[in-house]
Chain A
Amino acid sequence: MKKLVNYSPSPVNQILLGLLPFVVLLIVYMMGSDARLSINPSDKLLPSFGQMGDAIYRLAFEPSRRTGELVFWQDTLSSLLRLLAGVGIAAIFGLLVGLLTGALPVIYATFAPLLTVISLIPPLAILPILFIIIGLGEASKITLIAIGVAPFIARDIQRRTQEIPSEQLVKAQTLGASTLQIFIRVLLPQVMPKLIDAVRLSLGTGWLFLIAAEAISSTDGLGYRIFLVRRYMSMDIILPYVAWITLLAFLIDYLLSALNARLYPWNQEGKS
C-alpha cells in the first residue's frame, strides 16, 4: 500500500478536497439554522439561506422605501470609491516617499526616522482627531484609509529601492544618466511591481479602516449597513454583506495580481 506521505491528489481531487471544508461549513450552518428556526421561526441569529437571499434581493433590486435608492449597489459603489481613493492616495504617496527616501541618502537621513515613527501610530487611535480636524464627511474616511495604509507602502518601497544593486546605478551613471533619468529608467520600472504587491498586501488593512470609519458616521456604505442593521440584529443582511465584502476583496486582489503578471512578467520569475 502507498504511504500517505507519498500520495498527492490528482488535480480534480485537489479541487474537490479544497471545496470540502466549505461544503462541511455550509452544511453545519444549515443544520444549526434549521434547528433554531424549528424552535422559533422568527429567529434572527442564524437565518436560512432563503431568508438571506430574500433580504439581499430586496436590497439589490427593490428601491428603498425611504430614499428610493437600490441600497445594495449604492453601498457597494460608495465603499469601493472610498477604498480606491484611500488606497490610491496611499499608493502614490508611498511610491514617492519610498523612492525618494530609498534612493537619496540625504532624504533618507532627513525623513526615514519620521516615517518610522508615523508608521507606528495606530490610525484608529487618531480617528477622533481626524473627525475634529476634517469633519465627518467623505474626506475623513478617505484620509483614515490613506493614513492607515501609506506608511506601510512607503516603508516597503523604501526597502525595495535600497535592495536594487548599486552596480545598476553606477552603470547608469557611466552611461551618462542624470539623477532624474536613473529614477525614471532604472528605479521606477523595478519598483512598480513591488508597489502592486504592497497594495495587494495592504488592501486587508484598507478594508478594516474603511469599515471602521463607516461604522462611526455615514449615510451609506457596506460597513455602514452592517453596523446599522446590527441595531436590530438582521443577520440575514449582515452575513451576505460579509460574504460580499470577502468576494470583492478577493476579486480586487486577483485583478491586481493579474495586472502585475501582465505588465511585469519578468517579476514573476522565481516566484512559483
Chain B
Amino acid sequence: MNFPKNKVPALLFALLASSQTFAKEDFKVCWSIYAGWMPWAYAEQSGIVDKWAEKYDINIDIVQINDYVESMNQYTAGQFDACTMAQMDALTIPAVGGVDSTVLIAGDYSNGNDAIILFGEDDLADIKGQSVNLVEYSVSHYLLARGLDTIGLSERDVQVVNTSDADLVSVFGTGDVSATVTWNPLVSEILSMPNTYDVFNSSQIPGEIIDGLIVNTKTLNDNPALGKALTGAWFEIMSKMSGNSDSAKDVRTLMAEAAETDLAGYDAQLAKTHMYYTPEAALELVNSPQLVETMKHVAEFSFEHGLLGDGAPSADVVGIEMPAGTYGNPDNIKLRFDNTYMKMAADGKL
C-alpha cells in the first residue's frame, strides 16, 4: 500500500501543527498581565479591536493568558498568530525555535520597572558573594548581568537561585533572601519593606528591555490586514489613555482593574514604564542604531546562558533584522523589527 508518509502524522498532530500557510480571516492574539500590555485588556473590552478588524474585513480574537511563559510557548507552538512579549524572550523562544517572528509594535521599554534589590545594603558592589533569588533566564537575569557588568563583576561572583516570581515577595525579608532581581509590581511591594534598597534598575539601561507585540512573520506577510488592524487599534488606545483628562483616567482605571490594582497603583507602574504613546516615538526607537547595539547585548547574554540552544556555536547564529542594520547570520533571520505598519500609523494611512 502506498502509505502517505507525511500526511498521517501531520493529521495526528494537527492540533500542534504550526503552519499557517493560507491567507485566512480569523486571527488569535494572546497577552498577559504587565503594565505595558494592559491596553490589550481595554482593546478587547472597548471593542476597538473589533472596530479595526471590521475595517479590514477580518476577525481578531484577543485572549488573556495567566502565565507569561505559557503564553510565549503557546505562540511558538502555533496556537496564536501574535503575542505580547519582551524582545529578549522573542529571540530566545520563538526565534530560536525557528518561528520567524516580527516585532509589529514596539510598545514600551522598562524604565525602572525591573530592579536589583538588596536587603540591608545600599551599594550594588555589596552583592558580591551573595545568593540572588530571581527568575532565571528572564529579563531579571539579563538586568543582573548588565548591572554586574557596570561594576566589573560577573555572574561567577554571585550565586543565582531560580525562584518563582509568585514566591519572591513572601520570602524576601524573612532573613533567608538578601538579594533579588524582579519586576513591578513586585519591586514596589518589596521596596515598601524596611531596610531594602534599589541598587540598580532598568532606568540605568534605558531602551534595553523592550516589550511589544510579536507577530508570526509569515502570517503577517500573507495578511497585511492583520498588521494594519492591530497597529491601528493599538495607537488609538495609546492616544485615549495618555494625558490627564477624565476620559484618559477612565480608560486607565479600566486597565488598572484588569490588572487588579487601582488607578494610582497603575499610574505608579506606568511611571516606570516608558510607553510609546505615539507611532513617531516608537519609530524613533525601532529606527535607531542604538537598537542594533541593544540586540547585540541581548544576543550575547542569551548565548552565554545557553538560551540560543546548547549546541549554538556563537551569539550570532540567529539573525536579527532591524531598520538600522542586521545583527547575526543574514541567512537565518528569525526576528525582525518592522517599521512598516508603525510608519503607516504615523502617516495617518491606516
Contact = CB atoms under 8 A, between A and B. Distances in A.
Contacts of A28: 9, 12
A46 B306 contact: no
Contact of A54 (B16, B174, B311): B311
A230 interface: yes
Contact of B97 (A35, A65, A228, A233): A233
A129 B164 CA distance: 15
B97 A42 contact: yes
B310 to A, nearest CB: 5
B161 A217 contact: yes
B99 interface: yes
Question: How would you classify the secondary structure of chain A's contact residues: helix, strand, loop or mixed?
Answer: helix
Contacts of A228: 136-137, 162
A82 to B, nearest CB: 15
Given A35-B6, A35-B10, A132-B171, A44 B76 contact: yes
A128 B166 CA distance: 10
B137 A231 contact: yes
A140 B17 CA distance: 41
Contacts of A219: 159-162
B318 to A, nearest CB: 9
A248 interface: no
Contact of B99 (A40, A59, A224, A232): A40
Given A219-B159, A228-B162, A44 B311 contact: no
Contacts of B10: 35
A45 B136 CA distance: 21
B331 to A, nearest CB: 13
Contact of B176 (A35, A128, A137, A230): A137
Interface string A38-65: 1111111110000000110011000001
A218 B162 contact: yes
A232 B307 contact: yes
A68 to B, nearest CB: 10
A135 B171 contact: yes
Given A44-B98, A132-B171, A135-B171, A231 B310 contact: no
Given A31-B9, A44-B96, A135-B177, 12 more contacts: A32-B9, A40-B18, A41-B98, A46-B16, A55-B311, A217-B167, A218-B161, A227-B162, A230-B69, A232-B137, A232-B307, A233-B93
Interface of A: 28, 31-32, 34-36, 38-46, 54-55, 58-59, 65-66, 128, 131-132, 135-137, 215-219, 224, 227-228, 230-234
3 cross-chain pairs, A with B, having the tightest CB-CB distances, nearest first:
A42-B98, A135-B176, A31-B9
Interface of B: 6, 8-10, 12-13, 16-19, 69, 72-73, 76-77, 92-93, 96-99, 133, 135-138, 155, 159-164, 166-167, 170-171, 174-177, 304-307, 309-311, 334
27 contacts: A31-B12, A32-B16, A34-B6, A35-B9, A36-B17, A39-B17, A39-B19, A41-B98, A42-B98, A44-B98, A45-B18, A46-B13, A55-B311, A59-B310, A135-B175, A135-B176, A136-B133, A136-B171, A137-B176, A216-B166, A217-B133, A217-B163, A217-B164, A218-B161, A218-B162, A228-B137, A230-B69
